[in-house]
């Protein structure tokens, strides 16, 4: 699964090795309101200095508990929220700024599917108008936009002549999500961010939509960012996985690396807490206890150290960066834990012996 | 909590100031010079100048405003053009009288409306509900001054059970808590509160009906709670919404009493206002409206704080 | 597992396996749905009919009134209902009540309806802008509205009217000013709520600018609740307008206006109570019908949003 997919020639051919999306040091803090007079200086550190990259044609899964910053990251990527600091590069070109890519153009190439299928659709507009809206904003004629909408309806498995003129309240959750996908596709984007897109659906419907997404990815030559708290779904869909905790990236690697050989204690605990299909395997104690700390006042040093079974003094003082085997390239299996780095001062630290 | 109260008070200050600005500028809205109201017809130019200086009309507007506000805060609301007496004198008595009426009307109206509303909410869809709803919407739609007249027709003219004018028997200027005075209050009380009763009843009914649908009520019943205790919980939950509405209505009660007081010759602020408008007695007009508006702002503030203490979710930060 | 698609032309398969023949489902727009529901509501329909009749009566007053509403007759003062030539009696100056009642609706209706619509336009715009833009603009607009809101509506209307002086124009202005703050408030509240829905964010994510989003997505969702609220204000407007006339602040005598009639007839309740109560009956009925219609509209529009 780590093979590069050869680009089938949509838009410009990108440099073979250049990531399609490259994110550096993304940070977003939300001030906490304290009433009329002061800000109070308190901030919610929703996303704190995260970096990752995404290759063309792959699916990057982002997992984490509620409140870890996954959705904020998604919205930052689309510039729906202003970044505090950091840089986003689309196909090597920086977004924003004078020389950079216009935000409008970013939004044409990167689209999003939201979690709540109902509130993502304007109840007053018929389906085909909802789908056609995006293209018309970017200058496509009404006629052509409608044509595109109808053909997209067909691509997501809904008969255009039956569903085109319907209203959202007349449809089921699964159908609505398909429409949300169609709407995202209307602008012919290169990347689609799926923010908990299937979390609210029944399991059987969820499976249908997931398979639809897989088919569409090949048909339209897409790249996905798949955000979810459901570890199994992420495993099914993703090529690489990014694990977030309290606004930080704690582990990043291929699906096989993460699921078969998790190295961060948090990832390990997450995976252990999945119920197994095998009735013999029972969990006696929850692998992780307590609530995640308050993002307004994250613990010093490593943010996970308050719940980590391996925490030591160094963990409370020094924040671990994303250590990788080569130390430089974030495309390797990267882990933000002092255990990984021999010189970190952690008692269990030892140089990794050539694992993937 | 205490901080929230301070916050709300501080927040009300600019609003109160804005109110004073509006009240002040009312005088200048009208056609003609406010000076005209004060001038005798045969005034000479010298007289005009003298009066201008006397009343301060020769100063620029913001300065006039500041002077007026300064005086108002210390209790000097000017002199009535009609009576020549300080505005505050007549106003004090009028405010007390209106308050008395408003007080009893509030208790009367709120109690009856709430009870009816709760009954309607409990019997949602059945005939009790329909009756109350009809009554409520009638209450909301009826012009209360007309209802007052109709009540007078029925109870004073035809049946002669209740008096139709004044605050008490004879020429009583002071109010005392006795049956004679209460007789005079019954009809005005109904007139003043009828619209609010309709609104409160509807609000309570909607709130109760919605709460009864919520799952926690079923939980309470399945725990074995007696219906009466369940009722207490329901009312506690309905309280915040209804309180907000009530607060608004109390203000309306005071401000809207002008018509009723005029009809019943009840010597309150409304009556005063009516005369002031009729005679274009601007100082009285200004002073009365200022006082009434301040009352309203204060009542809203109190209701706001009470609401939050009952339901902490409502905080308006 | 393959992606299942709703392929068959004659049926639609729902996720739980149920097949529905497509002929059974019609697509109706939201407003068509509302209209259907309204049609089947007897109360609302009745009220609508009554209101239309009253409006028609007011418009065609010159053709409908049996007598000259201004013609006084000292002999016939306060004639009882049913007197020959005066089917609903006569007022304190001997003018025919029926004719005066027919003419009386004109001004009352105007004073109730016009301010509401002007306020709907002005207040609605301000509220949507405040709700959509948020931040400082919102604070500014809403605080300004709060200052006006600090006055009870009747009092504010009377105060402005009293200050401006009597007359229909002033009355209209006063009422409009009184109605703008509550409409702004409701428009802002609904807009803020709609703005938080995902489809607005999705529209932004499609690259649309603010005005486009407001036009296409926000307005259609905000208009409903605000309009319902505005219709409930019409009845209040009629009552307050008549109240202003009652106090001598709206219309002046000898005009035939329900509120004014109530006022001038007040002296005569001991002589002929029935006649004196008549103008109020008209105000009451009109106001009641508008309120019931507003309620009916609210129920009909109460879909899943």
Backbone angles phi, psi at A21, to 5 degrees: -125, 130
Residue B3: list chain A partners with CB under 8 A. Answer: 35
| Neighbouring chains to C with at least 3 Cβ pairs closer than 8 Å | A, B
Q: Is B170 left (phi over 0), alpha (psi -120 to 50) or beta?
A: left
How many beta-carbon contacts under 8 Å exist across A and B?
Answer: 7
Range name among B128-137, B193-202, B305-314, C189-198 with the lowest pLDDT average: B305-314
Q: What is the pLDDT of residue C18?
A: 53
Confidence of residue B209 (pLDDT cuts 50, 70, 90): confident
- pLDDT per residue as tens digits for the range A234-258: 999 999 999 998 888 888 888 988 8
Q: Least CA distance to B297: which residue of chain C? A: C150
Return the SS3 of C92: coil
Peptide bond into A296 cis (omega under 30): no
Range name among A20-24, B34-38, C259-263 with the lowest pLDDT average: B34-38
pLDDT at C123 over 90: yes
Using an 8 Å CB-CB cutoff, list residues of chain C that contact chain A: 1-7, 9, 12, 14-15, 22, 25, 27, 29-30, 197-199, 201-209, 212, 216-217, 220-221, 303-305
B173 vs A299, more confident: A299
Q: Which residues pair with A61 in a beta bridge?
A: A226, A241
How many beta-carbon contacts under 8 Å exist across A and C?
Answer: 104
> Alpha-carbon distance A58 to A254, whole Å?
11
**Which pair of structure tokens corresponds to residue C245?**
């006339």
Q: What is the pLDDT of residue A15?
A: 52
Q: Least CA distance to B3: which residue of chain A? A: A35
Q: Least CA distance to A34: which residue of chain B? A: B317
Instruction: Name which of A67, A54, A88 is nearest A252 in CA terms.
Output: A54
Q: What is the pLDDT of residue B31?
A: 63
Confidence of residue A8 (pLDDT cuts 50, 70, 90): very low
Q: Least CA distance to C12: which residue of chain A? A: A162
Q: Least CA distance to B151: which residue of chain C? A: C277
Confidence of residue B213 (pLDDT cuts 50, 70, 90): confident
Residue A36: list chain B partners with CB under 8 A. Answer: 7, 10-11
Q: Which of A137, A163, A211 sits opposite C3 (nearest CB)?
A: A211
- Contact between chains at C150 and B258 (C-beta distance less than 8 A): no
Q: Which residues pair with A52 in a beta bridge?
A: A23
Go through the domains of chain C in sequence order and give each one's CATH number: 1-29 (no CATH), 41-301 (1.10.3720.10)
Place of tokens 């304190």: C92
pLDDT at B41 over 70: no
Tell me the torsion sign for CA atoms C135, C141, C144, C145.
Answer: negative
> Alpha-carbon distance B199 to C232, whole Å?
12
Q: Which of C155, C239, C269 sits opposite B149 (nearest CB)?
A: C269
Task: List the end-to-end C-alpha distance of chain C, in Å, as a whole number.
Answer: 35
- Contact between chains at A119 and C7 (C-beta distance less than 8 A): no
Average of per-residue pLDDT across C59-70: 81
**Which pair of structure tokens corresponds to residue A321?**
């960066």
Nearest CA to CA, how far is C32 from chain A (Å)? 12
Q: What is the pLDDT of residue B67?
A: 80
- Contact between chains at C216 and A133 (C-beta distance less than 8 A): yes
Mutation target for A interface from C207, C208, C217, C221: give the one with most A CBs within 10 A: C207
The rounded mean pLDDT for chain A is 82
Residue A33: list chain B partners with CB under 8 A. Answer: 317
Q: Least CA distance to A36: which residue of chain B? A: B317
Q: What is the pLDDT of residue A179?
A: 93
Residue A138: list chain C partners with CB under 8 A. Answer: 206-207
> Alpha-carbon distance B263 to B256, whole Å?
12
> Alpha-carbon distance A2 to A21, whole Å?
17
Q: Are A189 and A168 spatial neighbours (Cβ–Cβ below 8 Å)?
A: no
Share of chain B above pLDDT 70, in %: 87
- pLDDT per residue as tens digits for the range C264-295: 888 887 788 888 888 889 899 999 999 988 88
- pLDDT per residue as tens digits for the range A16-41: 567 888 888 888 888 876 554 455 56
Range name among A204-208, B4-8, C219-223 with the lowest pLDDT average: B4-8
Q: Any CB–CB contact under 8 A between C151 and chain B?
A: yes
Rounded (5°) CA angle A240-A108-A53: 25
Mutation target for B interface from C78, C143, C159, C276: give the one with most B CBs within 10 A: C159
Alpha carbon B19 to its chain centroid, in Å, reads 16
Q: Least CA distance to B253: which residue of chain C? A: C152
Confidence of residue C179 (pLDDT cuts 50, 70, 90): very high
B26 vs C48, more confident: C48
- pLDDT per residue as tens digits for the range B198-208: 889 988 888 88
Nearest CA to CA, how far is B121 from chain A (Å)? 29
Q: Are B194 and B144 spatial neighbours (Cβ–Cβ below 8 Å)?
A: yes
C297 vs A112, more confident: A112
> Alpha-carbon distance B200 to B112, whole Å?
9
Q: Any CB–CB contact under 8 A between C299 and chain B?
A: no
**Helix (H), strand (E) at residue B112:** helix B87-122
Cβ neighbours of residue B122 closer than 8 Å, sequence gap 6 or more: B208, B212
Residue C204: list chain A partners with CB under 8 A. Answer: 80
> Alpha-carbon distance B257 to C178, whole Å?
17
Q: Are C148 and C156 spatial neighbours (Cβ–Cβ below 8 Å)?
A: yes
A75 vs B313, more confident: A75
Q: What is the pLDDT of residue C284?
A: 92
Q: Which of A116, A162, A186 sits opposite C198 (nearest CB)?
A: A116
Share of chain C above pLDDT 70, in %: 89
- Contact between chains at A208 and C4 (C-beta distance less than 8 A): yes
> Alpha-carbon distance C66 to B298, whole Å?
53
The full set of domain ranges for chain A reads 254-344
Average of per-residue pLDDT across A72-78: 89
Nearest CA to CA, how far is C6 from chain B (Å)? 37
Q: What is the pLDDT of residue A192?
A: 93
Q: What is the pLDDT of residue A152?
A: 92
> Alpha-carbon distance C85 to B275, whole Å?
38
Share of chain B above pLDDT 90, in %: 1
Helices (H) and strands (E) in chain A, counts: 11, 11
For chain C, where are the alpha helices, taking DSSP H only? 30-39, 42-59, 61-64, 97-133, 135-149, 153-164, 168-195, 198-205, 210-213, 219-246, 258-265, 273-301
Residue A169: list chain C partners with CB under 8 A. Answer: 303-304
Cβ neighbours of residue B177 closer than 8 Å, sequence gap 6 or more: none
- pLDDT per residue as tens digits for the range C128-154: 999 888 888 888 898 888 888 888 888
Average of per-residue pLDDT across B90-96: 84
- pLDDT per residue as tens digits for the range A133-179: 989 988 889 899 999 999 999 989 898 888 888 888 888 888 999 99
- Contact between chains at B153 and C235 (C-beta distance less than 8 A): no
Would you mind telling me the total number of residues written for chain A in this entry?
A: 356
Mutation target for C interface from A115, A123, A129, A180: give the one with most C CBs within 10 A: A123
Q: What is the pLDDT of residue C57?
A: 87
**Helix (H), strand (E) at residue B4:** helix B2-29
Confidence of residue B162 (pLDDT cuts 50, 70, 90): confident
| Neighbouring chains to A with at least 3 Cβ pairs closer than 8 Å | B, C
pLDDT at C3 over 50: no
Q: What is the pLDDT of residue C22?
A: 45
Nearest CA to CA, how far is B317 from chain A (Å)? 5
> Alpha-carbon distance B309 to B240, whole Å?
9
Would you mind telling me the total number of residues written for chain C in this entry?
A: 305
Q: What is the pLDDT of residue C16?
A: 54
Average of per-residue pLDDT across C31-49: 81
- Contact between chains at B7 and A36 (C-beta distance less than 8 A): yes
Q: Any CB–CB contact under 8 A between C231 and chain B?
A: no
Q: What is the pLDDT of residue B300?
A: 80
> Alpha-carbon distance A138 to A153, whole Å?
20
Q: Any CB–CB contact under 8 A between B105 and chain C?
A: no
Q: Are A274 and A63 spatial neighbours (Cβ–Cβ below 8 Å)?
A: no
Residue C220: list chain A partners with CB under 8 A. Answer: 122, 124-125
Q: Any CB–CB contact under 8 A between B10 and chain A?
A: yes
Q: Is B56 left (phi over 0), alpha (psi -120 to 50) or beta?
A: left
B299 vs C180, more confident: C180
């Amino acid at each position: 699964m780590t093979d590069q997919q050869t680009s089938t020639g949509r838009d410009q051919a990108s440099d073979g090795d250049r990531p399609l999306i490259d994110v550096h040091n993304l940070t977003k803090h939300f001030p906490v309101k304290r009433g009329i007079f002061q800000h109070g200086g308190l901030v919610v550190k929703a996303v704190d200095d995260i970096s990752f990259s995404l290759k063309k044609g792959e699916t990057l899964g982002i997992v984490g508990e509620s409140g870890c910053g996954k959705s904020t990251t998604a919205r930052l990527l689309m510039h729906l929220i202003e970044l505090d600091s950091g840089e986003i590069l689309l196909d090597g070109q920086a977004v924003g700024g004078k020389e950079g890519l216009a935000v409008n153009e970013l939004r044409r190439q990167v689209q999003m599917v939201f979690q709540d299928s109902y509130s993502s659709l304007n109840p007053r507009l018929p389906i085909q108008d909802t789908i056609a809206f995006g293209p018309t904003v970017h200058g496509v004629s009404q006629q052509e936009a409608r044509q595109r909408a109808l053909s997209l309806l067909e691509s997501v498995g809904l008969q255009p002549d039956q569903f085109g003129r319907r209203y959202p309240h007349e449809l089921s959750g699964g159908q609505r999500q398909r429409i949300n996908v169609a709407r995202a596709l209307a602008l012919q984007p290169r990347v689609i961010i799926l923010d908990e897109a299937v979390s609210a659906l029944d399991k059987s419907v969820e499976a249908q939509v997931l398979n639809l997404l897989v088919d569409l990815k090949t048909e339209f030559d897409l790249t996905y960012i798949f955000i979810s708290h459901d570890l199994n779904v992420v495993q099914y869909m993703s090529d690489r996985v990014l694990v977030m905790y309290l606004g930080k990236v704690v582990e990043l690697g291929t699906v096989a690396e993460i699921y078969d050989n998790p190295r961060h204690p948090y990832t390990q605990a997450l995976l252990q807490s999945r119920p197994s299909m095998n009735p013999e395997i029972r969990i006696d104690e929850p692998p992780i206890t307590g609530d995640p700390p308050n993002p307004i006042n994250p613990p010093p040093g490593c943010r996970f150290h308050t719940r980590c079974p391996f925490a030591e003094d160094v963990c409370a003082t020094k924040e671990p960066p994303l250590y990788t085997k080569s130390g430089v390239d974030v495309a390797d299996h990267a882990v933000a834990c002092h255990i990984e780095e021999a010189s970190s001062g952690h008692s269990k630290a030892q140089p990794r012996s050539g694992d993937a | 909590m205490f901080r929230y109260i301070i916050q709300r008070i501080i927040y009300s200050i600019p609003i109160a100031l804005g109110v004073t600005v509006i009240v002040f500028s009312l005088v200048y809205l009208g056609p003609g010079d406010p000076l005209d109201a004060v001038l005798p017809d045969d005034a000479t130019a010298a007289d005009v100048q003298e009066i201008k200086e006397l009343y301060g009309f020769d100063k620029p507007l913001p300065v006039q405003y500041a002077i007026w506000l300064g005086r108002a805060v210390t209790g000097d609301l000017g002199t009535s053009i009609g009576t020549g007496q300080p505005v505050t004198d007549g106003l004090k008595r009028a405010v007390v009288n209106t308050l008395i009426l408003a007080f009893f009307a509030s208790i009367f109206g709120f109690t009856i409306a709430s009870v009816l509303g709760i009954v309607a909410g409990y019997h949602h869809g059945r005939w009790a509900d329909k009756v109350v709803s009809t009554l409520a919407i009638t209450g909301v739609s009826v012009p209360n001054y007309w209802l007052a007249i109709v009540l007078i027709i029925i109870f004073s003219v035809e049946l002669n059970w209740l008096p139709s004018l004044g605050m008490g028997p004879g020429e009583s200027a002071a109010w005392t808590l006795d049956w004679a005075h209460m007789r005079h209050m019954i009809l005005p009380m109904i007139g003043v509160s009828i619209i609010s009763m309709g609104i409160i009843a509807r609000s309570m009914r909607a709130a109760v009906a919605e709460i009864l649908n919520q799952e926690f009520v079923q939980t309470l019943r399945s725990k074995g709670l007696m219906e009466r205790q369940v009722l207490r919980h329901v009312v506690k939950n309905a309280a915040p919404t209804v309180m907000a509405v009530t607060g608004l209505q109390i203000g309306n009660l005071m401000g809207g009493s002008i018509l009723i007081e005029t009809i019943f010759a009840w010597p309150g602020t409304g009556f005063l206002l009516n005369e002031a408008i009729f005679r274009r007695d601007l100082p009285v007009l200004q002073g009365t409206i200022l006082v009434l508006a301040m009352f309203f702002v204060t009542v809203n503030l109190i209701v706001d704080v009470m609401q939050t203490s009952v339901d902490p979710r409502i905080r308006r930060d | 597992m393959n992606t299942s698609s709703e392929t068959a032309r004659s049926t639609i398969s729902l996720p739980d396996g149920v097949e529905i023949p497509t002929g059974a489902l019609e697509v109706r727009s939201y407003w068509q749905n509302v209209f259907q529901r309204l049609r089947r509501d007897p109360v609302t329909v009745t009220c609508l009919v009554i209101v239309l009749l009253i409006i028609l009566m007011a418009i065609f007053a010159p053709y409908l009134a049996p007598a000259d509403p201004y013609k006084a007759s000292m002999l016939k003062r306060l004639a009882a209902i049913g007197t020959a030539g005066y089917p609903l009696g006569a007022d304190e100056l001997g003018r025919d009540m029926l004719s005066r009642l027919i003419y009386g609706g004109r001004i009352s209706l105007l004073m109730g309806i016009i301010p509401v619509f002007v306020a709907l336009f002005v207040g609605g715009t301000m509220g949507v802008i405040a709700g959509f833009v948020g931040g400082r603009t919102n604070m500014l607009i809403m605080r300004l509205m709060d200052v006006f809101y600090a006055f009870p509506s009747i009092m504010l209307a009377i105060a402005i009217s009293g200050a401006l002086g009597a007359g229909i124009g002033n009355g209209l202005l006063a009422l409009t000013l009184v109605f703008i703050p509550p409409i702004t408030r409701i428009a802002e509240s609904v807009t803020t709520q709609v703005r938080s829905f995902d489809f607005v964010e999705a529209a932004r994510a499609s690259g649309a600018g603010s005005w486009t989003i407001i036009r296409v997505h926000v307005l259609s969702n905000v208009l409903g609740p605000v309009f319902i609220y505005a219709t409930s204000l019409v009845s209040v407007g009629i009552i307050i307008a008549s109240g202003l006339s009652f106090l001598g602040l709206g219309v002046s005598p000898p005009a035939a206006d329900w509120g004014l009639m109530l006022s001038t007839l007040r002296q005569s309740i001991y002589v002929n109570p029935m006649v004196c109560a008549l103008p109020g009956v008209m105000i009451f009925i009109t106001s009641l019908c508008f309120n019931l219609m507003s309620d009916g509209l609210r129920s009909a529009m109460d879909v899943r949003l």
